[in-house]
Structure 1
Amino acid sequence: MAPKTANSNRGRSPAVHRALKRAILDQALFPGAKLPEDLLGERLGVSRTLVREALVRLSEEGLVDLTPNKGATVARPTLEEGLNLFLTRMALERLVVESLSGKLTKAQIETLTAHIAAEEAAKPEHAVSIRLAGEFHTILAQMTENASLIRYVNETVARSSLILALYGRPHSSDCAVSEHRQILTHLIAAETEPAATLMTHHLDAISTRALLPRHCDRDMKDVLSDYAAAEGLLG
């Protein structure tokens, strides 16, 4: 019986990890939320051991913070970490684009085209839209078959979803999806530099338009004057 139990646990371990990761990326579990092993095990119908293994793996991916004597919480990255993260993504994903330009197979093109269609269909659901947008980038990375690149892109994209959940502002996803389609078009045509340039612009746009305010040198008086004017308090 023991070997069967062990085999069963090994088989369910990846599923527990996927379930918790999906919940975090879909913002069902928000940054900073506590993750009690007993409660998670009860809700998922698995042992605390499997939950603990999943939490350790998620911590290695930057999605969970493990604190001695305090347990696990969904990671809560800082604004500065978010800015640095997107700079790192720009460098990594330029490598992805350079690796794939002109080399996509028919099956890969069909996979990416279908995924972009799913992104368009998910526009009303903000959390799902963020996850699908991130998956476009991880799918591209997987197609490079470069294990190191796949790992680092997966980790930075997952962490980016937490940043978006914390600091993102409501916005239309039209631009992001159209840019994904344009990137695919460039890759199919072996237009490496246009694809790489668009990818950099795409990620930079997320970190400004939809995500993170740049550091501002304006003083409080200047900043508040905009709001005062909008409320008719000036003049």
Structure 2
Amino acid sequence: MSENKTTLTDAVHDLLRKAIIEQALKPGMRLPEDTVGEQFGVSRTIVRHALVRLEHEGLVETRRNRGAFVAEPSRDEAQHVFEVRRCLENDVIRLLCERMPGSGYDRLEAHVRQEEAVKGKDGPVSIRLAGEFHVLLAELTGNPVLTRYVSEVVLRCSLIMSLYARSHSSDCAVDEHSQIIEAIRAGDAARAIEIMEHHLGAVAGRAALSAQPDSIQSILSHYGKELAQ
């Protein structure tokens, strides 16, 4: 694949993933290659490569003779993903209490300030930033394997919340993120894990069916503007 195609594939992949994480593209929504290509002004080949990458990340599934769809996890799958996430994030906290890098607290606090800035203003962005906080925690362990697994389950949880969540409380999320940072700073792994367990438990507890989504054309027209810039 040429460098230009690779760059376009990356851009389409990132924008589709952003649309899924921000819960604009809902679970079960069909992603026709021609429609996606038209909205982003790229070829079906570019779209196909981007969709394959999203499928590897668990965000898209291909159905025989029907094409690609935003993945639609069952309630059992959702429970399993949250169980794995709790285990992984508890280990992240234990590691950070032992070996937080020098700039770690500054990076975490800067991220929380970003979350504070959009609190109560932009639900989709606050949802994305909330997930990115957890990925940042994993990155700060310096363990790329752990970071990859945490990133995958955080993405999957965003998809699950898109399908089942009744609401998103950014106020609660940002406050608990700050509490987690302070507990890690104090070297109190037990306290940090307790807060994290409550935090993830509250997220997992908000389950209900989502409303009927908008059309893929109206959703991707917004994200396609970013590619045109």
1:120 aligned onto 2:116? yes
For 1:204, the equivalent position in structure 2 comes to 201
- TM-score, length of structure 2 as denominator length: 0.84
- d(CA) in 2 for partners of 1:190 and 1:99? 10
Aligned partner of 1:108 among 75, 88, 104: 104
Question: Which ranges in structure 2 are unaligned for 5 or more consecutive residues?
Answer: 209-229
Percent identity over the alignment? 47
Q: Letter of the aligned partner of 1:64 in structure 2? A: V
Aligned partner of 1:147 among 126, 144, 147: 144
Q: Which has the higher contact order (CA 8 A, sep 6+)?
A: 2
SS in 1 for 2:152: helix
Q: Is the 8 A contact 2:12 2:47 kept in 1?
A: yes
For 1:82, the equivalent position in structure 2 comes to 78
Aligned partner of 2:38 among 36, 39, 42: 42
Count of aligned pairs = 207
- TM-score, length of structure 1 as denominator length: 0.82
SS in 1 for 2:25: coil
Deviation at 1:123, TM superposition (A): 2.4
Q: Letter of the aligned partner of 1:129 in structure 2? A: S
For 2:212, the equivalent position in structure 1 comes to none
CA separation of 1:63 and 1:171: change in aligned 2, threshold 3 A: closer
- d(CA) in 2 for partners of 1:121 and 1:185? 20
Aligned partner of 1:187 among 184, 189, 214: 184
CA separation of 1:145 and 1:201: change in aligned 2, threshold 3 A: same
1:169 aligned onto 2:166? yes
Deviation at 1:128, TM superposition (A): 2.0
For 1:225, the equivalent position in structure 2 comes to none
SS in 1 for 2:61: strand
Deviation at 1:113, TM superposition (A): 0.9
SS in 1 for 2:124: helix
List structure 1 runs of 4+ shifted beyond 6 angstroms: none
- d(CA) in 2 for partners of 1:129 and 1:191? 27
- d(CA) in 1 for partners of 2:67 and 2:165? 27
Deviation at 1:17, TM superposition (A): 1.1
Question: Which ranges in structure 1 are unaligned for 5 or more consecutive residues?
Answer: 214-235
